[in-house]
Amino acid sequence: MPKRSCTKAKHAMEYLDTNIILRYLIKDDPDKAARAYALLQQVEQGNRIVATTEAVIAEVIYVLASKKTYNVPRSEIVKLLQPVLMLKGLKIGCKAAEKLMYADALTLYATTKLDFADAIILARMKYEEVTTIISFDTDFDRFPYVTRVEPELAENQAA
């Protein structure tokens, strides 16, 4: 598979997982919500450049809309999610997705217990030579080529 890099920007690229966006929007875990908020503030200010995938966006929508979990109406989902997608430092991938990258994602999905959204994230990270994911999901720790980091509270929020 050809290798590409998203690191042409002045900041190294990192990928954003579904749970960061969900914790920020839902605020069901105050500690994680505060750390997600601190991270997204850095992204909004352009101090941190992150990417996500179309699958993450789809998963956020699916979870919010699920009648078994949050049952958020479609119009409310758009109101909640649109500002996140417009953050200054948020990219949705580097370029158009490649067929081989999705084939790798399907292989990961078939050979691991990852959900498909996480498989796409890992395949895209590998394809784009990104090694860091910002996530609360410890499943990523099983992949030696990925470094998972969790957002931290800003110094002025830690008190």
Q: How confident is the model at residue 96 (pLDDT cuts 50, 70, 90)?
A: very low
The one-character DSSP state at 25 is H
- What mean pLDDT is predicted for residues 111-133? 90
For the chain, domains (ranges, CATH) are 14-149 (3.40.50.1010)
Q: How confident is the model at residue 11 (pLDDT cuts 50, 70, 90)?
A: low
Sign of the torsion angle spanned by Cα atoms 155, 156, 157, 158 = positive
- What mean pLDDT is predicted for residues 102-106? 80
Q: How confident is the model at residue 147 (pLDDT cuts 50, 70, 90)?
A: very high
Residues 24 and 151 sit within 8 Å (Cβ to Cβ)? no
d(CA 4, CA 21): 26
- List pLDDT tens digits, range 43-63: 999 999 998 888 899 899 999
- What mean pLDDT is predicted for residues 23-41? 98
Instruction: Give the HSE-up count for residue 54: Cα atoms under 13 Å, Cβ half-sphere.
Output: 5
- The structure tokens 């914790």 sit at 23
